[in-house]
Structure 1
Amino acid sequence: MVRRAFWDLSVVLSGDESTTGDLQALITAAKEAGFRGIALNTIVAGRIESKHRCRTRALVASAGLPELETAVEDALTWAPRLGYTFRVLHRLTVRVREAADLFVFHSANEVLQTYDIVSIEVPNEKLMQQAMLLDTIDLLCFPLGARASFQLKRTQVHACAERGILFEINLNPLLARDQVTRRYALQNARSICQRTGHGTRCVLVSGAASPLQMRGPMDMANLGRVLFGMSETNSIAAVSTNANYVVRQGEARRATGGKGAQWIRHLPGGAPHPIASEDEPQDEVRSMTLAQKQ
């Protein structure tokens, strides 16, 4: 049986008033749900300021994360058999409003290096076309709770695949009280899955802001299969293999100073997409600049 490591790459701490108790509650809920790790998502609207700092990293440091990691064996009896410790990553999501907001996404920006995962939320096709050319992002997001202003094209999916960019589907808008928001979220998620080959290049995240909103990995996979039209294989990969690829992509980007690093491995003939597996230790990192790729 293949051992899978499940990830939730979007857990939101609500505002600057978040305490270490809130963080501990989210981590405990994620451990009990069966995740290997989570990504604390910091959302920024507009351009990133040069003085911006990763507040979640300071909060985790004040909470004493090493003690939380060693507590996994006590909280979950199966954790020692799996042979890994719980990880807390830090993610940045920028909701771009205009083209000028994308100018800060370059390898010399030290702010991006303080985050393990970097993502962009684009509201229209024009900004998406520009975001696709960036080598410093790991995930591409869309405002699922609003009416889509454009339809994702397969050529755009292939262009993102060449740069190792995956697409995020956030389950949190499906829990909104507004019926219109839930309907748009369902329509947009189904459209993304359809354009990406039944969710081949998608990552499912909970967007949880409280332990009550935290869902188990198989629950998320079942929602992707039943509601969004994902295949069973792709729905499970969206919370395991694909998510692990994003984590490794971020690690490679930070290790090479953001110079467009990607995880590369040889694929057999007819392989559907270049997703690296956490079960293959022979994967290696190659740093490639944009000029080298072209």
Structure 2
Amino acid sequence: MFCDFNIPYPVQGNGKITEDSLINLKKILNILQKFGYEAVAFNNTITGKIPNNASNPIQQIPIDTSDNKKDIKQYTRITIIISDASQNYALNSNNETINSYDILAVQPQNEKIFQMACSVLDIDIISLDFSSRLPFYLKLPMINLAIERGIHFEINYSASLRDVSARKHLISNAANLVRVTRGKNIIISSEAQKALEIRGPYDIINLASIFGLNQALAKNCLTRNCRSVILHSKTRKSIHKGVVSITTLDELEPEESWKAGDKDLDADVLHFDMDED
């Protein structure tokens, strides 16, 4: 299942989308469908603190599924551009606005925020502007901490199609990310503003080879890693802090023997409603 988890959703000041923007999004969906994508995330980007009265403006967009055309799963995403570490952005499970989106991403504007995103913030994606020079270095300890927490890093490619300088920065920055992460926990998205900026999955896999990714790891950036983002999001929104009690094996009652790991329970697994390739 190929995914593109960053299609900008252009919202006006009144929280609505214009008819022209809606037509443009339909064209983008149609080309994604033609290229074989099966999941997309419409992205609402907010700079700074989320307004108290903010709501999720993203609506499902009808798509033609006639003539055996595959439907496209549509997710909603919010990306928050953060520059001030002193602000309380309320990025937690108690924030109803954030919970109304399927995916939560942040775009750090400085090293301090990047460190917070890797180590503290309860998020799914760290998205960096690779079309220009990064204002900080990608340090291995912070990257590893984010990976251990199940956070994914995003590479967006469409800006490189518009500008030669952006293309050079993208290749350099993405190669650096691949080197530090060893190709783990990366997703590649388009951030396309129009249909002509969408590229097919195998074109992107070829592009990723320039970043230093082999074909298997590059394909993961469009498939498996995207599913991991959704799984992480579901877990983030469903698991809450609790109290853990510790009991020794000698204290267990006979009817509680399953807690010690009975072999009869080895086959029990937790299933999530997620498609495979």
Which among 209, 222, 232 is matched to residue 215 of structure 2?
232
Q: Structure 1 186/15 Cα, relative in aligned 2: closer, same or farther at 3 Å?
A: farther
Name which of structure 1's ranges 105-114 and 244-253 shifts more when overlaid on structure 2.
Answer: 244-253
Contact 2:178 2:211 in 1 (8 A): yes
- Matching of residues 55-204 of structure 1 within 5 Å: 55-57=57-59, 60=60, 63=61, 65=62, 68=63, 71-74=64-67, 76=69, 79=70, 85-101=71-87, 103-134=89-120, 136-177=122-163, 179-197=164-182, 199-204=183-188
Match for residue 249 of structure 1? 232
Where does the alignment leave 5 or more consecutive residues of structure 1 unmatched?
A: 80-84, 261-280, 286-294
For 1:32-82, what per-residue CA distance to the aligned partner results, in whole angstroms no more than 9, with x for missing partners?
A: 11011100011111111111111113xx2xx5x4xx3xx425252xx4xxx
Alpha-carbon distance between aligned partners in 1 of 2:32 and 2:149, rounded to the nearest angstrom: 30
Deviation for aligned residue 1:149: 2.2
Deviations for 1:231-256, whole angstroms, at most 9, x for unmatched residues?
A: 21110100000011112222333344
Offset, 1:162: 2.0
Q: How far apart in 2 are the matches of 1:102 and 1:233?
A: 40
Please state how far the C-alpha of 1:101 moved relative to its aligned partner. 4.2
Aligned-residue offset at 1:180 = 2.7
- The structure-2 alpha-carbon separation of the partners of 1:240 and 1:147, relative to structure 1 and needing over 3 Å to count, comes to same
Q: Which amino acid aligns with 2:123?
A: I
In structure 1, the partner of 2:257 is none
- Whether the aligned pair in 2 keeps the contact of 1:135 and 1:163 (CA below 8 Å) is no
Measured on the aligned residues, the alpha-carbon RMSD in Å equals 2.3
Matched with 1:274 is none
- Equivalenced residues, count: 241
How far apart, in 1, do the equivalents of 2:224 and 2:208 lie? 15
Please state whether the residue corresponding to 2:67 is helix, strand or coil: helix
Whichever residue aligns with residue 76 of structure 2, its letter is H
AA matched with 1:142: L
Between stretches 97-106 and 240-249, larger displacement belongs to 97-106
Is the alpha carbon distance of 1:181 and 1:86 closer, same or farther for their aligned partners in structure 2, counting shifts above 3 Å? closer
- Offset, 1:183: 2.0
Equivalent pair of 1:31/1:72 in contact (CA under 8 Å): no
Separation of aligned partners in 2, 1:102 and 1:204: 29
What secondary structure is seen at the aligned counterpart in 2 of 1:55?
coil
Q: What is the SS of the residue equivalent to 1:121?
A: strand
Matched, 1:28 2:30: yes
| TM-score, length-scaled by structure 1 | 0.75
1:275 corresponds to: none
Cα distance in 2 for partners of 1:101, 1:232 equals 41
Cα distance in structure 2, aligned partners of 1:256 and 1:28: 36
**d(CA) in 2 for partners of 1:242, 1:27:** 21
Partner SS for 1:155: helix
> What amino acid is aligned across from residue 185 of structure 2 in structure 1?
R
Sequence identity of aligned pairs in percent? 24
Q: 1:102 to 1:245 in 2, by over 3 A?
A: farther
Residue aligning to 2:196: 212
